[in-house]
Amino acid sequence: MDYSTNDSKPTSEKKVVAVVGGGLVGALNACYFAKRGFQVEVFESREDIRQAKIVKGRSINLALSHRGRQALKQVGMEDTIVSKGIPMHSRMVHSLNGTQSPIPYGKKGQVILLLQSAETYPNTKLNFAHKLLDWITNLSHTHTHISFSLSLSLFSLSAEGAKEEIQADLIVGCDGAFSAIRKQFLRQSRFNYSQTYIPHGYLELTMPPINGEFAMKPNYLHIWPRNTFMMIALPNLDKTFTCTLFMPFEEFEKVTTGDQVIKFFQKYFPDAIPLIGAEALKRDYFHLPAQAMVSVKCSPYHLGDKCVLMGDAAHAVVPFYGQGMNAGFEDCLVFNEIMDQLNEDFSAVLPEYTRVRVPDDHAIADLAMYNYVEMRAHVNSKWFLFRKYVDNFLHIIMPRTIIPLYTMVTFTRTRYHKAVKRWHWQDKVRKDIVHVHSTLFKVL
């Protein structure tokens, strides 16, 4: 079933939607529900980052692509967010000998702003420093279904330590990979859940500007692929690059002194040393320990007609396809489209959202895992480069038949699981074409 947004006016009659989590997906969701006329309460355990002098936490630079842009467009935020970013046209692969080779992505062609947008709606209230203690649904079981009471209760703890109870008609869990909302789902039967930690961690370093300008070409995702590990660098508006080293934890643990850091970089990333700075490397490498990365899958995404999961709470993915934020934003967009289609009837909308979205989010989680192998190892392969060339050539001569996987995922809204299915079919077609050509060459 296809869903398209229409301009129908809200029929919510001031129902209360509690959005738990004030990050990217939570803030965007608040905009969507507020635009529909719901009374929106956003609860975030951290203080308001717009007023904080120091913002604590981990970060990996985020890539905004077509799916995310379409989600932002529906609430009038696309141009504002895009203006705060830097376009990336290609991967730039750094070899051991220092040569750089671009690999194009396709044809030529973030929290603070969203919170500010959500706050412009008079029917939205942002509650910071409110930690979720528990939430109840007053479940009553029958042989065939689970029914819920008319309203939900959330218990939160304010910054002053006061316990508060909030009644809501719908809870939207957008509270990250270690979601407190999702814990309630784990108490229910037939809820599937899995989390997988990959054996690699990540560590961030900063590459400063040189004479006030970027130290490398800014419109690229720079990659240093080294088979079992890699480093990437993404540009920032202040002319720095954020360099992220992805490596097995046991390799991180072998490097214990500043001199070992320099020796390690001299062996694997020699061109990066003068750009980052030897002294900065020695210092910053030990500033924070390597951080873990987890992939989360679960199903279903809803409990009756009263609670739904979105973003990392539903599908945390490792960051190697640049789709984590985009998939979360698209969650909001898909839910909004289904709300239009089913007239905001939560009892129909929530199960339909699960049916539509679970296979897509599971597919992008798997693709993110696959892309890590591609980025750290395959981009060094002549076969990989030849395959990319063949894909792009076939796409030029048969643009509607052969579409590269990366193009489908990043530059269209083709459903993730359908993109994977088509990718497998195209891979077979490409292999058949290569086989025929190689056979003809031998005959000639």
Q: Using CA atoms, how far apart are residues 61 and 202, in angstroms rounded to an integer? A: 12
Q: Under a CB-based contact definition with an 8 Å cutoff, are residues 65 and 411 in contact? A: yes
Neighbours of 269 (CB within 10 A): 20
The tokens for 35 are 């635009």
Residue with tokens 């990050």: 23
Dihedral angle sign, alpha carbons of residues 10, 13, 14, 18: negative
Q: Using CA atoms, how far apart are residues 255 and 257, in angstroms rounded to an integer? A: 6
pLDDT, tens only, 169-198: 999 999 999 999 999 899 889 999 999 999
Strand order in the sheet with 307-309: 124-127, 39-43, 16-20, 170-173, 307-309, 302-303
Query: pLDDT truncated to tens, each residue of the chain (444 aa)?
Result: 444 444 444 444 689 999 999 999 999 999 999 999 999 999 998 888 777 655 555 556 788 999 999 999 999 999 999 888 888 888 898 998 888 888 766 554 456 788 999 999 999 999 888 888 777 765 443 333 333 333 456 777 766 777 878 888 999 999 999 999 999 899 889 999 999 999 999 999 999 999 999 999 999 999 999 988 999 999 999 999 999 999 999 999 999 999 999 999 999 999 999 999 999 999 999 999 999 999 999 999 999 999 999 999 999 999 989 899 999 999 999 999 999 999 999 999 999 999 999 999 999 999 998 888 766 655 556 666 667 777 777 778 878 788 889 889 999 999 999 999 998 998 887 776 665 655 555 555
DSSP of 227-248, one letter per residue?
A: SS-EEEEEE-TTS-EEEEEEEE
Please tell me the predicted confidence (pLDDT) of residue 150.
Answer: 30
Residue by residue, what is the 3-state secondary structure of 92-149? EEECCCCCEEEEECCCCCCHHHHHHHHHCCCCEEEECCCEEEEEECCCEECCCCEECC
Q: Under a CB-based contact definition with an 8 Å cutoff, are residues 205 and 285 in contact? A: yes
Strand order in the sheet with 230-235: 100-104, 90-94, 220-225, 230-235, 241-248, 192-207, 291-299
Neighbours of 190 (CB within 10 A): 6
Residue with tokens 């031998």: 442
Q: Under a CB-based contact definition with an 8 Å cutoff, are residues 303 and 152 in contact? A: no
Length of the chain: 444
Burial 138-157 (b: 16+ CB within 10 A, else e): eeeeeeeeeebeeebbbebe
SS3 152: strand
Q: Using CA atoms, how far apart are residues 158 and 178, in angstroms rounded to an integer? A: 20
What are the C-alpha distances in Å from 274 to residues 142, 262, 270, 277? 68, 11, 8, 5
| Among the listed residues 55, 56, 79, the one whose alpha carbon sits nearest the alpha carbon of residue 69 | 79
